[in-house]
Amino acid sequence: MTLIQTRIPSPIDDIIIQGNQDGVSYVGFYPVIECPDTPFAEVELPHILNCAAQLNEYFAGERTDFDVTLATQGTVFQQAVWQALIAVPFGHTQSYSDIANALSNPKAVRAVGAANGKNPISIIVPCHRIIGANGKLTGYAGGLARKQWLLEHEGII
C-alpha cells in the first residue's frame, strides 16, 4: 500500500504523520526518521486527518487520550510493549520495570527500553510517559527537552 505523510505544526516543532488506508504507521518530529523519501500528500487519508485533529486537540489541552487507527510494524514483543504504553494514562508515568512487570516478564526491563525506543507513534503511544526507576527523565527519540515539555503539558512535572 502506498504510504503518504503530512506535516502539522505543534508547540514543540513540526510533527510528521505517515500512514496508508490501514492506519497511521508513524508519528514523529521533523525531520523524518522513518521512510524519509515518502512524499508529502496534498490529499490526506481519513486516518491521517483524524490523527492530526486529535494531536491538535491534545496540544490545545482538549484531549487526554487518543482513538487513532494504527498500522504499526514490529515484533510481537514490541507490539506488546506499545500496547502497554497505551495503557499508561494521561498525567501519569511508569518505569521500564513497571512495563516489564505488566507484561509478566520482570526481567525484560532492557528489552522494554529497546522496544520503547523503537516506538514509531510518538505521543499517541505515549513513550514519553516512561521514566527511569529513579524518577529521572530518560531517553526519548524526540529529545529530552520535548519529553519534558510533554510531561509538563500533562501536569506531571
Active site residues: 127
Q: First-to-last CA distance in the chain?
A: 41
Of 12, 18, 8, 21, nearest to 52 (Cα)? Answer: 8
Residue in the structure block whose three cell numbers are 513497571: 98
* Alpha carbon 18 to chain centroid, angstroms: 12
Burial of 66 (0-12, 13-18, 19+ CB in 10 A): buried
Cα–Cα distance for residue pair 123/91, rounded to 1 Å: 13
Alpha-carbon span 67 to 50, nearest angstrom: 9
What nine digits make up the cell of 72? 504499526
